[in-house]
Amino acid sequence: MSLLAGRVAIVTGASKGVGREISEQFAQQGASVVCAARSADLVKETAGRIQAAGGKAIAVVCDAAREEDVKAMMAAALQAFGKVDVLVNNAGDGGPTKPVQEYTTEDWFYTINSCLTSSYMCIRFAVPEMIKAGRGAIVNVSSMAGRRGLAYRIGYCSAKAGQVGMAYGLALELGPKNIRINVIAPGAVEGDRIDSVIAGQAKVRGLSEADVRRAMTERSPLKRFVKADDIASLAVFLCSDFAKNISGQLIAVNAGEPV
């Protein structure tokens, strides 16, 4: 059974990591995928991997926080596949790791725009197409940092919490239009992003990277980080008919880590 057969899905931040895994799993489940990201070479690689495996995908170079880029992305999706009925807001930069008194206005707006404004912008232009399609499923990829916080990451925590509040409000607004929106809150996901976070935390706290990694791992009952495919599998479910009555929910994928 193909869980997403007939769907056209836009995945932002599709150049690597969680976004690439979501794009590939969506294609494996029958969706036509618009892979969007700022890095031209990497996002083309994602689409190429899908095509080589027999799936349908296009690559779009897009800064999801820029209105003109998002408009162009939507136009490309419609030209290639004729509709849009799934959106995954995965784009976002973690921003700097530094004390609040050193966190500049430029740091703040860069991180908020990258993680939160990008989600708003994509939803704003995707919703009219979902209304035309008669259905829609949106997933915001947030973070546990938006639930329990993370020291020295004020911009990132604020933006990720904002994605949750956005989803709660939009679930009420868009439900009557048969459009669902949910949030995935990953814990520490194996890969380059968490390695960078660990390095930043070690530097600002005066600890070794090994000590920071150990503390993060020990925080979860399962004593491990999660993987990108764990996030992708949940995204597939939330965008499928199996989740047709799930909206306005936040689901953590974090190896059992308490909030």
Q: Assess whether pLDDT exceeds 90 at residue 143.
A: yes
Q: What is the mean pLDDT of residues 207-218?
A: 92
Confidence (pLDDT) at 192: 87
Predicted confidence (pLDDT) per residue in 149-159, tens digit: 999 999 999 99
Confidence (pLDDT) at 16: 96
Predicted confidence (pLDDT) per residue in 34-61, tens digit: 999 999 999 999 999 999 999 999 999 9
Is 152 catalytic? The answer is: no
pTM recorded for the entire structure? 0.95
> From CA 150, how far away is CA 201, in angstroms rounded?
10
Collapsing DSSP states into helix, strand and coil, what is residue 181?
A: strand
| CATH fold group of domain 8-189+227-253 | Rossmann fold (3.40.50)
Predicted confidence (pLDDT) per residue in 90-131, tens digit: 999 999 999 999 999 999 999 999 999 999 999 999 999 999
Percent of the chain residues past pLDDT 70, beyond the cut: 100
Which residue in 103, 120, 152, 156 is the catalytic one?
156
Percent of the chain residues past pLDDT 90, beyond the cut: 93
Burial of 70 (0-12, 13-18, 19+ CB in 10 A): buried
Burial of 250 (0-12, 13-18, 19+ CB in 10 A): middle
Q: Assess whether pLDDT exceeds 90 at residue 193.
A: no
Q: Assess whether pLDDT exceeds 90 at residue 1.
A: no
Q: Assess whether pLDDT exceeds 80 at residue 259.
A: no
Nearest residue to 143 (alpha-carbon basis) of 248, 14, 18, 242 = 18
Mean pLDDT computed over every residue of the chain: 96
> From CA 171, how far away is CA 249, in angstroms rounded?
9
Query: Tell me, what DSSP letter sits at residue 125?
Result: H
Q: Are strands 32-37 and 8-12 parallel, antiparallel or unpaired?
A: parallel
